[in-house]
Amino acid sequence: MKILKLTKEAKESLLSELIKRSPEHMANFETSVREILDNVKANRDKALFEYTAKFDGFELNAENIKVTEEEIESAYEKIDKDLLDVIRKSLVNIRDFHEKQKMNSWFTSTDKGIFLGQKVTPMKRAGVYVPGGKAVYPSSVLMNVMPAKVAGVEEIIMTTPCNSIGEVNPAVLVAAKEAGADSIYRVGGAQAIAALAYGTESIPKVDKIVGPGNIYVALAKKAVFGNVSIDSIAGPSEILVIADESANPKFIAADLLSQAEHDQMASAILITTSEKIAEEVQREIENFVEKLPRTEIIEASLENYGYILIARDIEEAVETANEIASEHLEILTKNPLETMTKIKNAGAIFLGEYSSEPLGDYFAGPNHILPTNGTAKFFSPLSVDDFVKKSSVVYYSKEALSDVHKDIEQFAKSEGLYAHANSIAVRFEED
């Protein structure tokens, strides 16, 4: 990792490097993604089957595209029973946390006959994408399916890649069943996003697509936005740690590496007020890398996007953290709660040395589908809110409208919209 003094130039260079990881800066993939989307939209199942044979090596057809109940039952026999217990414990925490996010419809009225409100309605059908590839993510299944379930979505459809003999990872299947997914299809990549967005003979069109994926999946979600809703365009994983001289360097090193092992483009950043901590963390990282698997990925991540920044004080560290707006932010200071109150931009905030980031990934309850690439400045973690719609409700009696109809007419005429004004005026012609 690079150890740098936190100067204005260093900060600007870092922000410039990090933004290059965004799917927005990978337009060279967009042509391929657009071709896949257009093909699936036009040829539906036929295109899905061809892409699955090409990319996954499995001959998909209308009879085997959907995972059967027998396969799911078999998956329960294949996974470790201790893992099943952990999935169920984690699911309780995730459900309890998201239950607290539920919104209710509300209405208010006056004695003049005005009735206003907001009606909250769950979406009818949601699509959940679960990636395959370099790692298996049953935790992402829980995090995507459960908020939709709590929101009251009628039908939750999941797509995930299969291997060359058509198998889907058993832990993924079990997690989907436990969380409440209604159907699972063995399709991955941009073609799965296209199927969820446009519908095919086998896979129905959904209202919203959620879940992380590779660059093709991210760009496909971006391209179909507007035809359906999406959660966000996810970039590579990232962690930022703010630490003072009281922090444990071994813990910091371990936490930085927990994200570096995700991907060669993952970022791991430490901002510390202590040069001693910076040097000790660097040594601990070197020790861990020698012992951990996925060494090649970790080393590439740290070489490209690993930074240790030495700040003048906590205020400068916090200011920089707010500019970076990291997906995961750990605060390892003498008073992490006080530091936390100054944080404005972060996907998830972890306080103290026993609140390591993987606690949030797997078990604590808050969602781990988080904004990346600085989008925590305006995006939030996946939540129950992502799966509901809000409709405004308006009722005015004749008496209530009579009091304000001339105001509305004047406003409409000022905009040159005389039919708008007439729509109000016509109700009072007799008067």
> For the residues of 349-407, what is the DSSP string, one character each?
EEESTT--HHHHHHTSSS------TTGGGT-----GGGGEEEEEEEEE-HHHHHHHHHH
Q: Is 328 a known active-site residue?
A: yes
How far is it, in rounded angstroms, from Cα 391 to Cα 117?
A: 8
- Beta partners for residue 331, in sequence order: 242, 351
Catalytic residue among 328, 330, 368, 409: 328
How far is it, in rounded angstroms, from Cα 102 to Cα 152?
A: 10
Q: How far from each other are the two terminal CA atoms of the chain, in whole angstroms? A: 79
Indicate the helix (H) or strand (E) that contains 250: helix 249-260
Q: Which two tokens stand for residue 411?
A: 């406003």
Q: Is 25 a known active-site residue?
A: no
Q: Which two tokens stand for residue 374?
A: 């600085």
Catalytic residue among 327, 330, 357, 409: 327
How far is it, in rounded angstroms, from Cα 315 to Cα 246?
A: 16
How far is it, in rounded angstroms, from Cα 321 to Cα 315?
A: 10
Residues known to be catalytic:
327-328
